[in-house]
Amino acid sequence: MGRARGAPVPFAAVVADCFYGPSETGTLVGALGRAGVPYVLALKPHRGIWARIADPHTPIEAARAAGWRSRRRPGSWQRVTRRFRDGHTETWWATDARLGCWGTDGPLRLVVATTDPAGLPEHTTWYLITNRPRPGSPPAAPSPLPPADLAEIVRCYGLRTWVEQGYKQVKNELGWADFQVRSDVAIRRYLTLVCCAFSFSWQTWSDQQLPTPTPETTQAEGSRERGARTGFPAHTTTQLAPGDPRRPRLADPRHRAHTLVAGMVHNAPTR
């Protein structure tokens, strides 16, 4: 964390899923608090606390106590519009919930964001703890941390899901989850070998693709019967990594990695 803060890269907050939040460990929360770093961390919806019988005992109970009746009677819920780089928008709802010592005017806030306050669907509901104060609240004036409204908290945490875009799918496809019970060093070596094998396989497959179509070939393609299928090009003998790379590196990735990253950025959330 010290090296990250020393880098000349400004950031609005540290964001992380519930594995790093108070639901699992207080180590990261304590370190961030002592360092005075703003954060937005996720909570498990059923993380229980000690409270009076009539009060909420879990984040999901706190969300249900926020007074939602309908869109015309939202209680303390506020409409939040999320905007994405491809131009589409999504309407979410967010609220400052109260759970134990976490509340609107306390040092820590419990923010709940969801697409459906009535049903609180599992995959589109976030339970977030943050130390960024609410604008205009008593803690905002003396706090060294920048205040943040509900839209800003939702925006910050929405960027975390984009960082992991495709990670689960790639992990399953490449077998990253198959390291079983191994040491930390063994796991890292296994992942390195998997990445190397995939890189070489990807390069070989890419070198066997059809050449860039010309106007003549495009016209011929258009004359084919609709639904006709074409096979893969015949196998050709190619040199996998021509030349001496001099040092370990990806074998001639060309423009393909940039294309994949550009696709991810195009669909990423902006606000």
pLDDT in tens, 49-108: 888 888 999 999 999 999 999 999 999 999 999 998 888 999 999 999 999 888 888 889
So where are the chain's domains?
Answer: 2-161, 165-209+249-271
Distance CA 68, CA 94 (A): 11
Mean pLDDT of 121-130: 94
Residue 269: phi, psi to the nearest 5? -70, 145
DSSP for 74-86 reads -TT-EEEEEEBTT
Cβ-defined contacts of 169-174 (< 8 Å, 24+)? 174/198
Residue 106: phi, psi to the nearest 5? -95, 180
In this model, does residue 226 exceed pLDDT 90?
no
Q: Bridge-partner residues for 194, per DSSP?
A: none
% of the chain exceeding 90 in pLDDT: 32
In this model, does residue 124 exceed pLDDT 70?
yes
> pLDDT by residue (tens digit) across 56-71?
999 999 999 999 999 9
Distance CA 31, CA 26 (A): 8
Mean pLDDT of 160-188: 74
The predicted structure's pLDDT at residue 4: 74
The answer to whether the beta carbons of residues 152 and 166 sit under 8 Å apart is no
Name which residue leads in pLDDT, 27 or 176.
27
pTM of the model: 0.66
Average per-residue pLDDT for the chain: 78
Amino acid at 193: L
Name which residue leads in pLDDT, 255 or 240.
255
Cβ-defined contacts of 143-150 (< 8 Å, 24+)? 144/36, 145/36, 145/38, 146/12, 146/38, 148/12, 148/13, 148/38, 150/78, 150/80, 150/94, 150/95, 150/96, 150/111, 150/113
Q: Bridge-partner residues for 264, per DSSP?
A: none
In this model, does residue 40 exceed pLDDT 90?
yes
Helix axes of 184-207 and 167-174: crossing angle, nearest 10 degrees: 90
CA-closest candidate to residue 150, choices 132, 163, 174, 162: 132
